[in-house]
Amino acid sequence: MAGNWKMYKTGQETTAFFAGFNPLVAGTANCDVVICPTFLSIPAAVAAARGTVTQIGGQNLFWAKEGAYTGEVCGEMLVAAGCQWVLVAHSERRQYFNESDAETLKKTQAALAAGLNPIVCVGEKLDERKGGKTEQVLIEQFAGGLAGLTEEQFSKVAIAYEPVWAIGTGQTATPAIAADAHGLIRSEAEKRFGKEAAAALRILYGGSVKPDNVERLMKEEQIDGALVGGASLDPQTFIKIVKAA
Ligand code: PEP
């Protein structure tokens, strides 16, 4: 169960979140719990979550290890700051920063080389779903962003299916729609990496997950967890989602 804080919360606000969240999440053993704050709030999150079950992740990374790349942060820096996870190719990165499938692959490989667990995001836009192109989009994103990994690399990756029309809109995919898409992604994984790898793959659903819809989603065999934006910003709300795992 992963929270994506997007461009919200200062370091102080991050510390305040964990003061509320730590006692609530204590004892959670049935899932991994991950929070992805902004780069600047990572040190505060790592310090506040130390000794708890919550793991910290970045929201993005660059593929080079170092160099003249103004404004970028690499996987090794995230690890040095205490991160274990990183989001790759969130739809907001694809939409506002033109990130491509080829870049997704490079970033995923760089994350793995640094020792991070990548959560690679895929998902169709509204016009693509309306135009009957959902399958094609997911197959292309898998082929361009993930199929180039080795089997060993792929075993460390989680995928988040995030239909773009459901992110931040309050319009969640129905459990059946999400399960269909997850099934398709898993079958692409099976074709490329084999049955065992596909069965072990964790596919998270993301898109307006809230306490009142999470249980129905988690009942689907195909859905292994959630990537949560807005509803991860408040400890009382996010804990209800975590408990649904
Ligand atoms: C996200 O940011 O990945 C997301 C799914 O956002 P929200 O839960 O707010 O739709």
The predicted-structure confidence for 109-126, as pLDDT tens digits, reads as follows 999 999 999 999 999 999
β-pair type (117-122, 158-161) = parallel
Percent of the chain exceeding pLDDT 90 equals: 98
Q: Which residues partner with 2 through β-bridges?
A: 34, 227
DSSP label of 94: H
CA of 149 to the centre of ligand 1 (A): 26
User: Ligand 1 atom 1: the closest Cα is on which residue?
Assistant: 229
User: Ligand 1 atom 4: the closest Cα is on which residue?
Assistant: 229
Tokens at 54, concatenated: 């919550």
pLDDT of 60 reads 98
pLDDT of 170 reads 87
Beta strands in 16-175 (DSSP E): 33-36, 54-58, 85-88, 117-122, 158-161
Q: Examine the residue annotation and report whether 182 is marked as an active-site residue of this protein.
A: no
State the average pLDDT for the chain.
97
User: Ligand 1 atom 2: the closest Cα is on which residue?
Assistant: 229
DSSP label of 62: B
Residue 31 has pLDDT above 90, yes or no: yes
Among the listed residues 92, 99, 124, 162, the single catalytic one is 162
pLDDT of 192 reads 98
pLDDT (mean) for 23-52: 97
pLDDT band at 43 (very low <50, low <70, confident <90, very high): very high
The CATH code for residues 2-243 is 3.20.20.70
Q: Examine the residue annotation and report whether 66 is marked as an active-site residue of this protein.
A: no
Instruction: Tell me, using a 6 A CB cutoff, whether residue 123 lines ligand 1.
Output: no
Please report the atom of ligand 1 found closest to the CA of residue 91: 3
Instruction: Tell me, using a 6 A CB cutoff, whether residue 92 lines ligand 1.
Output: no
- C-alpha distances (whole Å) from 8 to each of 19, 171, 200 are 17, 21, 32
Instruction: Tell me, using a 6 A CB cutoff, whether residue 168 lines ligand 1.
Output: yes
pLDDT (mean) for 30-48: 97
Our mutation pick for probing the ligand 1 site, out of 209, 213, 233, counting the most ligand atoms within 8 A of Cβ, is: 209
Tokens at 158, concatenated: 């989680």
